[in-house]
Amino acid sequence: MDEHKTEAVDRISDLPEPILHHILSMVEANDAARTSVLSKAWKSTYDSSPVVVLDELFIKEFVKSYELSSEERQKYLSNLEQFRTRYSVHIRGVGDDEEKGQLLARMIIREKFMLLSNNSIKRINQQKELLSIKKFRFRIFHLDDEFASVIDNWVGLVTDRNIEELDIDIGCTFLPVCDYPKPTYLLPQAILAAKSLTVLKLGGCRLDLPFTAGSTRFPSLQQLHLCSVHLDEQILDNLISTFPCVQIFALDNFWSLSIFAFLDLENLRWLSCHQCIGDSKRLTLKQQALKLWTFAMS
């Protein structure tokens, strides 16, 4: 027997909770959820995590390795046509068997995504003290009324819990520019109450909100990223005036805009306009905005 043999020591679990929260924020949502079964300490850490990630891409990767029991497979197959009709799912250019397989995968992805969303809401609401949400990311391939309602509920929830970083992506991450979806998700007015926001990332959304020129809606906002977001020059001008402290501003896929006026952004340091081409291009910057460290346009 080796007299010098020592038992393994779990030093990670003894780290301060903020560090453990940071570790969880760096892994995929499913892997983070699995840590809750390691021990009571890890369950407490997961339950109190201030980061919520609902990402369909993660769920899709999980489903690839998911093995259905014969009972589960029969249940899904019996509901294929109902699923196709309810969510208007059409898969073209493939054979019947391949179409059935893809529909089956989408059904499972949707079910697992909704389950993760419901469990996350339950986890947050079960906390004895009001849990502040530092970061919320919601990313899906396709939008329908049910998903829109889920996003609305989440925006209201995280706004009430001092959200700092809000990231909503409706399909933009997965598609090339020419295939970007028409923005159909209307961001709810609840977002206007998010005074603690420091980072806002929106993709495939509509910004038909009552932004009034000169009013400060987002006093703490430092980063704004907009991809394929529906707005016009007037909305953009009004929107810009609501976040005086923004330092990073990125626009992606704004083909309908012809004029970009970045006025009164005295703290702006990084500006990017990608695929922002209309009938004409004109960029207006106030003299103070020439403090830019980085500027890119294509």
Per residue in 221-258, pLDDT (tens digit) is 999 998 888 776 777 777 777 788 888 988 887 655 55
Using pLDDT thresholds of 50, 70 and 90, give the confidence band for residue 7.
low
| Closest among 253, 77, 63, 259 to 170, alpha carbons compared | 253
pLDDT (0 to 100) of residue 154: 94
pLDDT (0 to 100) of residue 259: 52
Report percent pLDDT > 90 for the chain.
Answer: 12
Q: Which two tokens stand for residue 72?
A: 């589960």
For residue 23, count other CB atoms closer than 10 A to its CB.
Answer: 15
> pLDDT tens digits for 98-112?
777 778 888 888 888
pLDDT(292) > 50: yes
pLDDT (0 to 100) of residue 264: 59
Measure Cα distances from 163 to 47, 159, 196, 199, 270 in Å.
17, 5, 6, 9, 23
pLDDT (0 to 100) of residue 288: 47
Using pLDDT thresholds of 50, 70 and 90, give the confidence band for residue 189.
confident
pLDDT(18) > 60: yes
Task: Please compute the mean of the pLDDT values over residues 169-191 and round it to a whole number.
Answer: 70
pLDDT(282) > 70: no
Cα 261 → chain centroid? 27
pLDDT (0 to 100) of residue 280: 42
Per the model's pLDDT, the better-predicted residue between 20 and 191 turns out to be 191
Residue 205 · residue 187 · CB < 8 Å: yes
Per the model's pLDDT, the better-predicted residue between 241 and 200 turns out to be 200
pLDDT (0 to 100) of residue 158: 93
Residue 246 · residue 223 · CB < 8 Å: yes
Task: Sketch out the chain's domains with CATH numbers.
Answer: 133-298 (3.80.10)
Residues 6+ apart with CB under 8 A from 21: 45, 48, 49, 50, 51
> pLDDT tens digits for 43-76?
777 777 888 888 888 788 777 777 778 888 888 8
Pairing of strands 248-252, 259-262: unpaired
